[in-house]
Amino acid sequence: MTVIAPDSIKLDRIDNQLLHSLLIDGRASFSLLAEVIGTSEQTIARRYRRLQDAGAIRVLVLPTPTGTGLEWMVRIGVRPGAAERLSAALAQRSDVSWIRIVSGGAEVVCISRPSSTEERDALLLERLARTSVVTTVVAHAMLKVFVGVGADVWSGFDDPLDAEQAAALRNRAPARNGHGGSPAGDGEPWEARPDDAAIYDALREDGRAGYAQLAAATSISPARVARRLDGLLATGQAYVHVDLATDLLGFPTAAGLWLSVAPAKLERVGAMLGALPATTFVAAVTGPANLTGSVLCRSTSELYSLLTHEIGAIDGVQSVEISPVIRRVKQAGTVLRGPRLRM
């Protein structure tokens, strides 16, 4: 049994491998998870509910961002004492996610995924600019995401799945984040439909809900719910995401990275940074720092080692700015209450 920080929960191999498995496929059945991990289905179900009840994990199914064609990493400078109030207001917006208070409370960083140019301009050009507590707004357009939405992006915890286990899970998992097309034999078009909103609402509450549960929540037949959800996932119009309360899992040290990289080496550096176990997000962006990332560590000494021994050793990195995360306010779809996910 691994004992972690006092404010964290105790995890063993089964817990860690369950977390890793769900990052690969958040809707994998308990029976498949048990087979891959090597334990009973009842044990997996019990462990999952323990983690969920502790506010450590939440599985969601979310619509893939569309609209303007651009996502934005927004750095918002704020007056002293105003970061919590501003971030709480931003957390209520469906187009804003991954909200962090950084740099000693002087800055709020978030990702904006506007559904239209009007929604983009309303936030970036109007609302933030007119907010009295805001001192600066710098919006970085994300040009390429190397590691991020919809991927098993992090395996830095103890006892992750080995390569054979991970491959077995991926090979058995149905398409969850496809790249177009339509499931064979259904005869149904896969553009957005009005009843998809009700399915998404239910899946924001529980992304692992079965078809019968979704049917009861949406008043849509189980067969139709199954066709719609499977089609939306297979065609990439929706994706499965797992929010983790990483403080509870023993990783209280989080930081944002802003790197200046030689343009000719940007692709390689982005891929190498994304391959580090501590990395949770990497994207090429516009602006003087042309690569941004997020990392999770157990301590500041581990963060220092990551910076000096791993990131610093990547050829092409010219400079690195580190923004320590003071508080996580919102994940992809979940607002946090202290260190725990708010269910």
* Residue type, position 318, single letter: Q
Q: Where are the alpha helices (DSSP H) in 173-221?
A: 196-205, 211-218
pLDDT score recorded for residue 6: 45
* 285-313 as b/e: b if 16+ CB within 10 A: beeebbbbbbbbbbeeebbeebbeebbee
Phi, psi torsion values for 67, nearest 5 degrees = 125, -90
**Apex CA 164: angle with CA 162 and CA 165, to 5°?**
65
Pair of tokens at residue 37:
């991990």
The pLDDT-based confidence of 1 (bands split at 50, 70, 90) is very low
Quick check: 213 and 180 in contact, CB under 8 A?
no
Q: What is the pLDDT of residue 178?
A: 45
Element (H, E) at 232: helix 222-234
Q: What is the mean pLDDT of residues 286-310?
A: 95
Please tell me the predicted confidence (pLDDT) of residue 328: 94
Domain boundaries in the chain? 13-64+152-244, 71-148+252-341
The DSSP annotation for 142-166 comes to EEEEEE-TTS-----SSSPPPHHHH
Mean pLDDT of the chain: 88
Q: Is 81 helix (H, G, I), strand (E, B) or coil?
A: coil
Q: Which of 159-168, 187-196, 233-242, 245-254 is least confident?
A: 187-196
Q: What is the three-class DSSP state of 29?
A: coil
Q: Other CB atoms closer than 10 Å to residue 79's CB: what's the count? A: 12
Q: Is the pLDDT of residue 137 over 50?
A: yes
- For the chain, strand residue ranges (E) read 57-63, 71-78, 96-102, 107-112, 134-147, 238-244, 253-261, 279-285, 291-297, 317-330, 336-337, 340-341
Q: Is the pLDDT of residue 45 over 60?
A: yes
pLDDT higher at 273 or 149 = 273
In this predicted structure, what is the pLDDT of residue 188?
52
State yes or no: pLDDT of 17 exceeds 60.
Answer: yes
Higher pLDDT, 184 or 149: 149
What gap in Å lies between CA 272 and CA 306, rounded to an integer?
A: 13
Q: What is the pLDDT of residue 63?
A: 86
Whole-number pLDDT of residue 183: 45
- Evaluate if residue 21 carries a pLDDT over 90: yes
Class of domain 71-148+252-341: alpha beta
Neighbours of 319 (CB within 10 A): 10
Instruction: Give yes or no for residue 23 having a pLDDT over 70.
Output: yes
Partnered with residue 253 across adjacent β-strands are 297
Tens digits of residue pLDDT in 176-201? 544 344 444 444 556 778 888 999 99
- At 194 the pLDDT is 80
Tell me what the mean pLDDT of segment 20-28 comes to.
Answer: 93
Question: pLDDT digit string (tens) for 64-119?
Answer: 876 556 789 999 999 999 999 999 999 999 889 999 999 888 999 999 988 788 88
| pLDDT classification of 254: cutoffs 50, 70, 90 | very high
Q: Pick the range with the lowest mean pLDDT from 145-154, 273-282, 293-302.
A: 145-154
